[in-house]
Amino acid sequence: MRDSPDFPWHARGAVEWVASVLLETRAPGLRHYFLGRNGGQSGGVYGSLNMAPGRGDDAANVAANRGLVVKALDLEQEPLSLRQVHGDRIITVGPGDSSRLLTAPPEADAYITAQRGVPLMVLTADCLPVFIFDARTPALGVVHAGWRGLVLSLPWKAVITMMDEFGTRPEDCIAVVGPGIARECYEVGEEVRDAFDRSFPYSSALFSPAREGRWKVDLGEACRLQLRDALLGPDSIAVCPYCTHCGSGKFFSARRDGIDSGRQAAVAVLS
Domains of the chain: 9-270 (3.60.140.10)
| Residue 228 CB burial class (10 angstroms; 0-12, 13-18, ≥19) | middle
pLDDT of residue 63: 97
| Tens digits of residue pLDDT in 208-257 | 999 999 999 999 999 999 999 999 999 999 999 999 999 889 999 999 99
Strand order across the beta sheet in which 207-211 lies = 187-189, 214-217, 207-211
Single out the residue of 80, 42, 32, 88 nearest to residue 257, CA to CA: 42
H or E element that contains 222 = helix 219-229
Q: What is the pLDDT of residues 169-202, one digit of tens each?
A: 999 999 999 999 999 999 999 999 999 999 999 9
pLDDT given at position 247:
86
pLDDT tens for each residue of 234-247: 999 999 999 999 98
Going from the C-alpha of 20 to that of each of 53, 77, 240, the distances in angstroms are: 27, 23, 8
Distances (CA, A) of 157 to 24, 114, 134, 164: 25, 17, 15, 10
Percent of the chain at pLDDT exceeding 90: 98
pLDDT band at 2 (very low <50, low <70, confident <90, very high): confident
